[in-house]
């Protein structure tokens, strides 16, 4: 989240302080703020009547959208989705080679492993909310997203967002079909979120529907 006293940091030049405060209130209500950022906005809402009114406006705007979703425990979908995205291929039956030939092949494989750099292992991320859960795998350039919660419904679409250090949601596209692949350059530690939007996606730059689930792309040490 950017410093509230500097509304031009990381935002379009034509944004006014009121636009900046409205975005901060939306982030606070959507739950994308964490730690000190969340506490700062919480404390501000207690003493700043104008900001408190913006928070109340966003709560009223979004509360009705959540009423249509029953409370359900978020299932642990990660094992099922990993099995779908990366199925185990049965090994083929082969004839035994002579011992010498087998040793030569093993030595060649070991040498290849030492010489050729190995690609980074895909990272798994699980997005969890009060009534839905999603999971994905990221190999450094492509985010592969699987849906096991059913279709979004008539006239609706799931939309994927990335939220960086500046706190501004940026759309990564719509999630349609059982598996969606998104080419993206995502740094470790970035927040991912899924919202329910009108068909075709949010009409503006920010999510307008309820945020169903959020998660953080893990940092690999």
Query: What's the topology of domain 71-86+111-221?
Result: Immunoglobulin-like (2.60.40)
Q: Is 29 helix (H, G, I), strand (E, B) or coil?
A: helix
Checking if the pLDDT of 52 tops 50, the result is: yes
Q: What whole-number distance in Å separates Cα of residue 35 and Cα of residue 186? A: 22
113 has pLDDT over 70: no
- Helix axes 49-66 and 35-47, enclosed angle (nearest 10): 110
Cα angle vertex 116, ends 114, 117, to 5°? Answer: 95
Q: 216 phi and psi, to 5 degrees?
A: -120, 130
CB 198 within 8 A of CB 174: no
Cα–Cα distance between 180 and 40 in angstroms, integer? 36
Select the more confidently predicted residue: 71 or 29. Answer: 29
Q: Which three-class secondary structure state does DSSP give residue 209? A: coil
Structure tokens at 148: 């096991």
Mean pLDDT value across the chain = 73
pTM of the complete model beyond 0.85: no
- The pLDDT-based confidence of 6 (bands split at 50, 70, 90) is very low
More confident residue, 106 or 178: 178
Q: In what order do the strands lie in the sheet with 142-146?
A: 169-175, 156-163, 191-198, 211-216, 123-128, 133-138, 142-146, 179-183
**pLDDT for the residue 59:** 79
Residue 57's pLDDT is 80
Give the residue-averaged pLDDT of 99-122: 58
Specify the pLDDT at position 81: 66
Query: What digits encode the pLDDT tens for the residues 123-141?
Result: 677 667 776 677 777 777 7
Q: What is the pLDDT of residue 210?
A: 83
Q: Where in the chain is the domain with CATH 2.60.40?
A: 71-86+111-221
Q: What is the pLDDT of residue 26?
A: 81
In this predicted structure, what is the pLDDT of residue 28?
81
Q: Contact at 8 Å (CB) between 62 and 210?
A: yes
């Amino acid at each position: 989240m950017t410093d509230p006293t500097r509304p031009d940091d990381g935002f379009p030049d034509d944004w006014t302080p009121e636009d900046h405060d409205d975005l901060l209130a939306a982030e606070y209500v959507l739950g994308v703020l964490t730690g000190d950022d969340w506490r700062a906005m919480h404390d501000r809402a207690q003493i700043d009547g104008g900001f408190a009114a913006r928070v109340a406006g966003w709560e009223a705007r979004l509360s009705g959208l959540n009423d249509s979703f029953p409370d359900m425990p978020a299932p642990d979908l990660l094992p099922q989705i990993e099995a779908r995205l990366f199925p185990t291929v049965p090994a083929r039956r082969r004839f035994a080679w002579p011992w010498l030939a087998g040793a030569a092949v093993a030595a060649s494989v070991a040498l290849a492993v030492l010489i050729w750099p190995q690609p980074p292992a895909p990272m798994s991320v699980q997005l969890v909310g009060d009534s839905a859960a999603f999971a994905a795998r990221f190999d450094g350039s492509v985010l592969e997203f699987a849906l096991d919660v059913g279709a979004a419904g008539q006239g609706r679409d799931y939309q994927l967002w990335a939220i960086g250090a500046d706190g501004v949601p940026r759309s990564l596209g719509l999630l349609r079909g059982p598996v969606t692949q998104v080419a993206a350059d995502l740094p470790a530690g970035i927040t991912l979120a899924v919202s329910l939007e009108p068909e075709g996606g949010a009409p503006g730059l920010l999510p307008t529907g309820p945020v169903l689930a959020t998660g953080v792309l893990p940092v690999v040490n």
